[in-house]
């Protein structure tokens, strides 16, 4: 409102309606989205991925040697790069790995694509051995190494839009997203995600989120201290 010289939220809403596509909508989205993330955020989901889910998927996909993972609400990329590092640690460099990161905010996606982080960001959740192996010093900050960035692609996308054609994915990470929406929007988002998942694919949600009462195609599975939802047949 200050940048545009406006006196009220009503004036801002009116200007948004009048100037669609002029860049103001992007500024508003960047201002109001919650861009909180860190490397290996919440230990339990990553322990479950490493100890149970990925070994299961590797056995199931052994014939094709492919693995597709979607980091929905990827923010500035730490979740997607955490997955990439974990897969490298598991010795999957010969597999065809695709990690797809999406977010509504173009501002944070620009940072994600660059893979550059501040010192305080690499100190939040990133194990010291991963810092040594997969992150290079870059001026006053740090940059994710090319072998980690190579399988990761970032794209702007609104999860409320049509998602058909994105999948199929073996894992979809969509944590701390549904809490911001009303009941009908939650159902729409989950239905869209389900349509992008392969049979028996896995979906971790945030600690305060569930598919219960929203979509009956998912089975609840407690794994290594975390809760995952698995798509049925």
What Cα–Cα distance (Å) separates residue 124 from each residue in 26, 60, 131, 214?
Answer: 28, 33, 11, 33
| Residue of 188, 186, 233, 191 whose CA lies nearest to 208 | 186
- CA dist 201 to 15, 23, 115, 149, 221, Å? 43, 37, 27, 24, 12
Per-residue pLDDT tens listing for the chain (233 residues): 888 888 898 988 888 888 765 688 778 877 777 677 889 988 888 999 999 999 999 999 999 999 999 999 899 999 999 999 999 999 988 899 999 999 988 889 999 999 999 999 999 889 999 999 999 999 989 999 999 999 999 999 988 888 877 879 999 999 988 998 999 999 999 999 999 999 899 999 988 889 988 999 999 988 877 789 999 76
CATH class of 43-114+144-231: alpha beta
pLDDT score of 27: 80
What does the alpha-carbon distance between residue 213 and residue 210 come to, in Å, rounded to a whole number?
Answer: 8
Residue the block writes with tokens 């047949």: 233
**pLDDT at residue 166 in the model:** 84
Nearest of 160, 157, 128, 163 to residue 142 by alpha carbon? 128
- Distance of alpha carbon 212 from alpha carbon 197, whole angstroms: 18
Instruction: Return phi, psi of residue 169, to 5°.
Output: -110, 150
pTM: 0.87
pLDDT of 22:
65
Per-domain residue ranges of the chain: 1-32, 43-114+144-231
Q: What pLDDT sits at residue 68?
A: 97
């Amino acid at each position: 409102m200050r940048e545009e010289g406006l006196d009220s939220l009503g004036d801002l809403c009116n200007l948004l309606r009048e100037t669609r596509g002029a860049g103001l909508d992007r500024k508003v989205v960047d201002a109001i989205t919650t861009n909180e993330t860190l490397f290996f955020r919440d230990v339990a989901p990553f322990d479950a991925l490493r100890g149970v889910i990925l070994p299961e998927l590797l056995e199931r996909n052994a014939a094709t040697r492919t693995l597709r993972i979607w980091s929905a609400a990827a923010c500035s990329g730490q979740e997607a790069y955490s997955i990439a590092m974990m897969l490298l640690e598991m010795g999957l460099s010969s597999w065809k790995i695709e990690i797809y990161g999406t977010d509504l905010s173009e501002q944070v996606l620009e940072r994600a694509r660059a893979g550059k982080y501040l010192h305080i960001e690499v100190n939040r959740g990133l194990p010291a051995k991963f810092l040594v192996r997969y992150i290079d010093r870059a001026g006053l900050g740090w940059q994710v190494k090319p072998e980690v960035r190579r399988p990761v692609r970032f794209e702007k996308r609104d999860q409320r839009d049509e998602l058909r054609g994105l999948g199929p994915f073996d894992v979809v990470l969509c944590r701390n997203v549904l809490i911001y929406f009303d009941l009908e929007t939650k159902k729409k988002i989950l239905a869209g995600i389900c349509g992008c998942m392969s049979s028996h694919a896995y979906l971790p949600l945030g600690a305060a989120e569930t598919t219960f009462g929203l979509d009956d195609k998912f089975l609840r599975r407690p794994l290594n201290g975390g809760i995952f939802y698995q798509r049925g047949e």
